[in-house]
Chain A
Amino acid sequence: MDSRFIYLDHSATTNVKPEVLEEMIPYFKSNFGNPSSIYSLGRKSKQAIEEARERVAKALNSKKEEIYFTGSGTEADNWAVKGAAYANSNKGKHIITTAIEHHAVLHACQYLESEGYELTYLPVGPDGVVAAQQVSKAIRPDTILVSIMYANNEIGTIQPIKEIGGITREKGVLFHTDAVQAVGNTSIDVEDLNVDMLSLSAHKFYGPKGVGALYIRKGTKITNFIHGGAQERKRRASTENVPGIVGLGKAIELATHNIDGYSEKLRNLRDNLIDQVMEKIPNVRLNGHRKKRLPGNANFSFEFIEGESLLLMLDMKGIAASSGSACTSGSLDPSHVLLAIGLPHEIAHGSLRVTFGEENTGEDVKYLMEALSPIVERLREMSPLYVKD
């Protein structure tokens, strides 16, 4: 086996595409002006931001004025959840979300609970998908917000956002979706989905880190999250991250250009890997719905072994992937997502997440399989839980 480096963790982050970086560079150097300055150097920066906003709006089928740049996907999530909660507390204090949200939403919700808001954490089925009807049943007269992720970051499951959007629209409840994992992997149309707010993050689709955006439908009641200057039409203070915003704009334009072809490429890699793992490795389960998942996401649990050991051994072979094991998160509990789909702790500890991206090929799947089978076998041989048939 030749030694090489294969990156299979695109849900964690991606590289910045050269074309993206190229557009960003002038805004670090010659076009460094503050977009709030009135002289031409400042106006150049301002114009660059507005062009980026246009590109994001086009990618999401929103109006340009409905896009607000943030410092990250996490900030966008926090702003949406807390901002909508605070702005609508006169109507009620009940919020609906799911048990499998990213911590950016989950912990923001838990914080709101400490402030007297009432949260409903909808469960998901063993396939990792929430039932839209459950949302309908959970809505009460005092429900002010529903926040449900578009696609899960660990098991990749895609939630019925359009269906839920229909329900919340009909009942007059605000609907936020964390689409950080979805944008760039699947096409998104905020009008079609009926969402009121949508979060995204540039570094998940070959843009730079440290920049995200929140789509806020015109007329949505939401308080400001960061207070200060009058940037982002007085909605989000702080001097704009101009190169980052430019990078986000270019990256989302590139990502949405041939999104169907890209999705299909990823889906082929994913299905190829899933088929091989399920066929060649015993005592393994696929986490998350077989089809309703991100095109590039595969998540497995290998019985009798622990995820961190698996990741480190893969790393020795030049393969970068991730796991929902407790040992990789610094906490005692394995991933809340894997527990939410009903996995026992010991199985959740042995999970492996592979997320494909642009540079991956069928050769990478082959290389991964060649490495994975013996590693799993080796760790099992070492495990007191494993009894060979």
Chain B
Amino acid sequence: MYSDKVMDHFMNPRNVGEIKDADGEGQVGNPKCGDIMKVFLKVEDGIIVDAKFKTFGCAAAVATSSMSTELIIGKNIDEALKITNKTVAEALDGLPKPKMHCSNLAEEAIKEAIDDYKKKHGMEPEKEQGERCSRRCDDILNDE
């Protein structure tokens, strides 16, 4: 069902944990839907120098969390914002169709964390905090 890469990132997730006094933090998801992801960013001179996550969810949710943090480390904010759920899924050699929604989690959590960083640094966030969280369940229902 899962690719080897998904299983690798699930069994050996990269960047699990928290960053104290993170420059940006974002949490999306809902325990009702069965997944929550929290991302912590450390940003220096506009570049993400470290990222950590905590995730409650299935193997796909954990693997996308792990992969997406890997993808954004070393990138500047604008590049990181360009990472979509598709980019993450492709980097994992694909996700089973019913699990594609899990990759939204990672994309949205990162965007949420970047928005938080922007707000803290007097920049205009892309969306209001929390706006991304509640959409997911409905999105999935509408997809079906």
Q: Which residues of A contact B (CB under 8 A)?
A: 304-306, 308-309, 312-313, 316, 325-327, 330, 332, 334, 344-346, 349, 381-385
Contact = CB atoms under 8 A, between A and B. Distances in A.
Contacts of A381: 16
Contact of A304 (B13, B56, B98): B56
A385 B59 CA distance: 16
Please give me the 8 A-B residue pairs with the lowest Cβ-Cβ distance, nearest first: A346-B31, A327-B58, A308-B58, A384-B54, A384-B38, A345-B32, A383-B56, A349-B34
A308 B36 contact: no
Given A308-B59, A309-B59, A382-B62, A327 B34 contact: yes
B11 interface: yes
A381 B16 CA distance: 9
B125 interface: no
B35 interface: yes
A334 B62 contact: no
Given A306-B57, A346-B34, 4 more contacts: A309-B59, A327-B58, A382-B55, A383-B56
A312 B34 contact: no
Interface of B: 7, 10-11, 13, 16, 27, 31-38, 54-62, 98-99, 137, 140-141
A202 B38 CA distance: 46
Given A330-B98, A345-B34, A349-B31, A325 B58 contact: yes
B57 A309 contact: yes
Contacts, number: 68
A385 B34 contact: no
B34 A326 contact: yes
Contact of B56 (A306, A316, A330): A306
A384 B33 contact: no
Contact of A382 (B35, B54, B58, B98): B54
B56 A305 contact: yes
A90 B141 CA distance: 39
Nearest to B96: A330
Contacts of A330: 98
B143 to A, nearest CB: 10
Nearest to B11: A316
A248 to B, nearest CB: 31
Nearest to B62: A309
Contacts of B33: 326, 332, 345
A326 to B, nearest CB: 5
Q: Which of B27, B31, B56, B59: most chain A Cβ within 10 A?
A: B56
B10 A309 contact: yes
